[in-house]
Amino acid sequence: MVSLKCWVLLMLVGGVSLLAMWTAAADQPRNAEARRVDTGDAVLVIHGGEYDLPESVGPEDAGPYKQVLRKALEEGYAELRKEKGTSLDAVEAAIRVMEDSPLFNAGRGSVFNHDGHNEMDASIMDGEHKDKFAGAVAGVTIIKNPISAARAVMEHSPHLLLTGRGAENFVMRLKIDQPDLARKLEVRDPRYFWTQSRWDELKKAWAEEDQQSPQGKKEGRAPTPRRHLGTVGAVAVKNGKLAAGTSTGGMTNKWAGRVGDSPIIGAGTYADNRACAVSCTGWGEYFIEYAVAHEIVARVKYRKGCTVEQAADELINDELMKAGKDGAPIEGGAIVLNPKGHFAVTFNAEAKQMNRGYITRDGKASVAVFEDRLPDPK
């Protein structure tokens, strides 16, 4: 018979040693970048997607991309500085800036689906899980800022996810019923979302398709989507309260009606004040299957000592790198931020690059695109 005291002692020693070994084993991330830049005082982290560049664009063209990222950080930061400004406001403001730029695959710069239309998706989530705390739209074609429509669904409808015409009718109705909301819910003709570079990408995808299957062309075979990425997203924190959001035009040449991970709470976006906020970019089908955003939150929540960096690193650099057909790599990345201001910017070798940036509590902003690495803040 062992005494209670002895049990407690044994358990303590065993527990601590287990924890120590666990930490030692898990603490070898290959994504050195996230580690190096994590300042521990970030308030807003953004991404402008991975592999977002037409082939004609080189490192010398980085300027305009960096400018938009910087503006997104500044506008988000301005919201955080307001007395009543929330992390949700910061996420929305930062994403709106990227949606308004034709350089990113969201809002104005959205890619075309197989039918030559833009179908946009977005979602947003509040890390404080009180009553209704998430909203999303999918397949919208005339909403200038899908992220604001997602927030409007969250705050002004009984629903969480509205799609297509239903989502657009909701926005139109809301603009009429509540004119004070109209400023953020601008509507545009589909033509506003038409850009030459995206159109060229679609035509190229069409041509490749026809070349691969001349018979298919004649018969109208099913299209082959091209994984053109460049989704945008943001995660923010204020007083320990997190928010996350994601917005995208999807994949070039995607089938009409296709929905990826960006508007799916749990796949492309998740936020929980008890763990972290996540916004993803990558091959949407796989990100839904692996419930990437929620899986990262679950690992941080349930695995002792698991940091945001470890959680993202394991999933994105290990598991997704062999998740495809016959173990093929699945490209993707995520930004993850915890309530204390620690963050990870993780993207795997298949994703190659990710447009990204962060801003600290005292307003120090850093951005990086293409093959750059985030500058060391020290």
The set of catalytic residues is 231
Binding of its own copies by 131 (CB under 8 A): yes
Give the angle 231-236-240 at the CA atoms, nearest 5°. 150
Binding of its own copies by 265 (CB under 8 A): yes
Least distance CB 254 / its own copies (angstroms)? 7
CB nearer to its own copies: give 310 or 366.
Answer: 310
CB neighbour list of residue 343: distance below 8 Å, 6 or more residues apart? 34, 38, 42, 45, 235, 308, 335, 336, 337, 358
Cβ–Cβ under 8 Å, residues 360 and 39: yes
Least distance CB 337 / its own copies (angstroms)? 18
H-run or E-run covering 27:
none
Cβ–Cβ under 8 Å, residues 346 and 309: yes
> Looking at 25, 58, 83, 158, which residue binds its own copies (CB under 8 A)?
158
Least distance CB 256 / its own copies (angstroms)? 4
**Bridge partners of residue 125, in order along the sequence:** 134, 244
> Judging by DSSP bridges, how do beta strands 161-163 and 134-140 pair with one another?
parallel
Binding to its own copies (CB under 8 A): which residues in 173-192?
Answer: 173, 177
Binding of its own copies by 207 (CB under 8 A): no
Cβ–Cβ under 8 Å, residues 260 and 248: yes
**Bridge partners of residue 246, in order along the sequence:** 123, 233
Count Cα neighbours of 77 within 13 Å in the Cβ-side half-sphere. 20
Binding of its own copies by 49 (CB under 8 A): no
Least distance CB 242 / its own copies (angstroms)? 14
Which DSSP symbol is given to 320?
Answer: G
Q: How far apart are CA 71 and CA 92, in angstroms?
A: 13
Binding of its own copies by 268 (CB under 8 A): no
CB nearer to its own copies: give 78 or 298.
Answer: 298
Tracing tokens 């506008």 back to the chain, one arrives at: 75
Q: Which stretch binds its own copies (CB under 8 A): 26-34, 100-108, 164-172, 206-214?
A: 164-172
Binding of its own copies by 151 (CB under 8 A): no
Tracing tokens 């999303």 back to the chain, one arrives at: 136
H-run or E-run covering 332:
strand 332-337
50: closest CA among 39, 65, 64, 61? 65
Q: Which stretch binds its own copies (CB under 8 A): 27-35, 93-101, 157-165, 341-349?
A: 157-165
Binding to its own copies (CB under 8 A): which residues in 270-299?
Answer: 270, 284-285, 288-291, 294-295, 298-299
Which DSSP symbol is given to 322?
Answer: G
Binding of its own copies by 146 (CB under 8 A): no
CB nearer to its own copies: give 114 or 356.
Answer: 114
Least distance CB 259 / its own copies (angstroms)? 4
Least distance CB 298 / its own copies (angstroms)? 4
Size of the site for its own copies (CB under 8 A): 65
CB neighbour list of residue 302: distance below 8 Å, 6 or more residues apart? none
* Greatest Cα pair distance in the chain: 82
> Looking at 94, 134, 308, 334, which residue binds its own copies (CB under 8 A)?
134
Binding of its own copies by 109 (CB under 8 A): no
Phi and psi of 182, rounded to 5°? Answer: -60, -30
Q: Which stretch binds its own copies (CB under 8 A): 38-46, 80-88, 131-139, 333-341?
A: 131-139
CB nearer to its own copies: give 297 or 365.
Answer: 297
Binding to its own copies (CB under 8 A): which residues in 323-362?
Answer: 323-326
4's tokens? 């209670």
Binding of its own copies by 162 (CB under 8 A): yes
Q: How far apart are CA 10 and CA 21, in angstroms?
A: 16
Binding of its own copies by 116 (CB under 8 A): no
Tracing tokens 């997203």 back to the chain, one arrives at: 233
Sites of contact with its own copies (CB under 8 A): 7, 10-15, 17-18, 125, 129, 131-134, 138-139, 157-167, 169-170, 173, 177, 220-222, 224-225, 254-260, 264-267, 270, 284-285, 288-291, 294-295, 298-299, 302-303, 323-326
